[in-house]
Amino acid sequence: MSRLIDHDPAFASSSPGRGRRVAAGIFRTVLAVGLLAGGGAMALHFLETPPEAKKRAPSRRAALVEVAPVRFSSHRVTVEAMGTVVPARVVELHPRVSGEVVWVSGQLAPGGLLRQGDPLLRLDTTDYELALQRLRTDLARAEAALAVEQGNQAIARREFELLGEVVGEADQALLLRKPQLDAARATIGGVQAEIARAEVELERTTLRVPFNALVRSRAVDVGARVTQGTVLATLVGTDTYWVEAAVPVRQLKWLDIPRSAAEQGPAVRVFDSAAWGEERSRTGRVVRLAAELLEAGRMARLLVAVEDPLGLQDARKDPLPMLLGSFVRVAIDGQRLARVAALERPLLRPDDTVWVRDGEGNLDIRPVEVVFRHGERVMIARGLAEGEQLVVSDLPAPVQGMPLRLPEVEAQPTASREGSR
C-alpha cells in the first residue's frame, strides 16, 4: 500500500512545490512580524529617550541708549486752564426821567467806544424847563410873602412894646406873629427844594456814559418815547475784562488765591492762539475764586482780571485786543517747589516709573513720586538722585536689569582702529 502511494505520479509531482510555497508564506509572515516588532521597539526607544537640545549661553547684546543727567532745582508750578472772556462791568442803561429822545450819540451803536462823562442821548427838555420856570415864580412869590410877614412882625413888636404888658412866652410868640414868619420861611424852603429837584430832572434829560465803555447793544432811536423802565442800551466796561477759567479743584492748593481786594493775586498769562498766534500773550492777575463749582465737570472757577483789554491805552501798533466770549488758555503762576527734578512728560514711563542706567550699566525701572504734572512736564520729588543717568531713548521691550551701552562706548573701537592705520 505504501508503495503505491509513493509511486503515485500525481502526488509525486505536486508535493515539492506546495511545500516551498508554504515555507515562503511562513517566512514572509515571520519577516513582517519581525519588522513590526523592530519598528515598535525603536519607536518605544525614541519615546522613552527623546533627543536633548544642547544649551547655549544666552547672548547679552547691550541695547544702545542715550542718557541725560538728573538735575534737581527750584521750579515754579504753573497751572494751566481754559477760560472764557467775560465783562467785569456790564450795565443796562435806563432813563431816570421820561420823555422823547431828540438826540443820540453817533457812538451809540454795537461796538462803539464811549468815554466816561460823554453825552449819550438827550430827551426833550421843554416840560422840565417850564416846570423849573414855574417853581422859580413860586419862589419869588414866597420870598415876597416872607418880606410882608417880616414887616407885619416888626409892627407887632412895636405895638407889643407900647402896651408894656407882661404875658406868657406862648402868648408873646402869637402876638409877635412868629408862627406866620416860620410858615413863610418854610414855604420858601419847600419851593427851593422843588427847584433843586427840577434842575436835577432837567439835567437828567441828558444821559451820560457812567464809565469807559463799549456798546454791546442799543435799544432806542430818535423819536422814541421812553420812561424810567425803558432799556436804552447795554454797556460793557473797557477798563478791565475778566477771564473765567475752569481749574481742577485738586490744583487749587498750588495757587495763592487773594482773600480780599487789598491782596494781589498770582500773575497770569493769557493766550488766544486763534487771534494772536501761538506765542503771544496778555498778562493779568487772579482776583478771586467763585463760590460754587461749575456743574459740567465739577471744576472751580477763577476770575482773572486783564487791564486795558482792548489796548486803548497801549502805544503799540498791535495791542492784542481781547474779544468778549473768546475761549482762551491761561497759565497761572503757582507756588515754588524747593527741590524737584523737571522731566519731559514722555520720560515718565507707565505706572509713574522712569528708566535709569545704574552704575553697572544695566536698566533700572524705578518708581518715582510725581508731585505735579503740567503740560509736557512733570515734577519729580523722590525716587531719583542728583547726577543719575536717565535713559531718554525708547526701548522696544524694556526688562529690569537688561544691559545698556552708550554711543561713545560703541565709537571707541572705531577710533582705535583708525589710529592704528
Mean pLDDT across the chain, nearest whole number?
A: 85
* Domain residue extents for the chain: 2-48, 65-73+338-420, 78-87+235-336, 94-121+211-233, 125-204
> Which positions ≥6 away from 280 have C-beta within 8 Å?
271, 320
Exposed / middle / buried, residue 345 (Cβ in 10 Å: 0-12, 13-18, 19+): exposed
C-alpha cell at 378: 512733570
Q: What pLDDT score does 51 carry?
A: 60
Enter the CATH code of domain 125-204.
1.10.287
Which fold, 78-87+235-336? Elongation Factor Tu (Ef-tu); domain 3 (2.40.30)
Q: What pLDDT score does 420 carry?
A: 40
Q: What pLDDT score does 18 carry?
A: 65
Quick one: DSSP state of residue 28?
H
Say whether pLDDT at 14 is over 60.
no
In 73-173, which ranges are E strands?
73-87, 90-93, 99-104, 113-114, 119-123
Q: pLDDT tens for residues 64-122?
A: 999 999 999 999 999 999 999 999 999 999 999 999 999 999 999 999 999 999 999 99
Q: What pLDDT score does 50 carry?
A: 61
Q: What pLDDT score does 174 carry?
A: 67
Q: What pLDDT score does 181 carry?
A: 80
In 3D, which of 292, 315, 317, 314 has the Cα closest to residue 303? 292
The CATH classification of domain 65-73+338-420, taken from the options 2.60.40.730, 3.40.630.10, 1.10.357.10, 2.40.420.20: 2.40.420.20
- Average pLDDT, stretch 149-173? 72
Q: Residue 158 — pLDDT band, cuts 50, 70, 90?
A: confident
- Average pLDDT, stretch 144-160? 80
Q: How far apart are CA 171 and CA 167, in angstroms?
A: 6
Task: Tell if the pTM clears 0.75, that is, is over it.
Answer: no
Say whether pLDDT at 412 is over 80.
no
> Which positions ≥6 away from 42 have C-beta within 8 Å?
none
Say whether pLDDT at 46 is over 90.
no
Q: What pLDDT score does 357 carry?
A: 93
Exposed / middle / buried, residue 52 (Cβ in 10 Å: 0-12, 13-18, 19+): exposed
In 3D, which of 196, 192, 199 has the Cα closest to residue 138? 192
